[in-house]
Amino acid sequence: MNDEMEFILVMVTVPDKRAGRNIARALVEDKLAACVNISQDFLSVYRWEGEIEEESEVLLLIKTRSEILVDQLIPRIHELHPAELPEIIALPIQAGEKNYLDWVMKETSRD
């Protein structure tokens, strides 16, 4: 059985689909993510170094386990991401279909 609180959805923005695809493939190959969805382009508005910026970005939705977030997933995203300060936000998955969560566990385990 699995403890559903151990699963998380990690959101990461990237400048374009090419960067998103590169990061997604690496995370799945490294077994740091079971699945990564790559969104359509959207507009981000934010303040950076005192200026209001507007950029077209792509959102990655990464399904993984919380226990690998800090020591493995975040450092790998930093290695792959083109930005100086990538957005990396993790949300707990409160509940999910058991077979899907079992699959996430299997695909993110190195055993």
> Domain range spanning residue 8?
4-107
The pLDDT tens digits of the residues spanning 24-47 come to: 999 999 999 999 999 988 999 999
- Structure tokens given for 85: 């300060």
Query: Which pTM was predicted?
Result: 0.92
Calpha distance 78→14 (Å, rounded): 12
Calpha distance 65→44 (Å, rounded): 27
Please report, for the domain that includes residue 70, its CATH number.
3.30.70.120
Calpha distance 8→67 (Å, rounded): 9
Which residue's entry shows tokens 């359509």? 40
Q: From 110, 26, 98, 105, select the one nearest 65 (Cα to Cα).
A: 105
- Structure tokens given for 102: 């079992």
78 pLDDT above the threshold of 80: yes
Quickly state the pLDDT bin for 17 (edges 50, 70, 90). Answer: very high
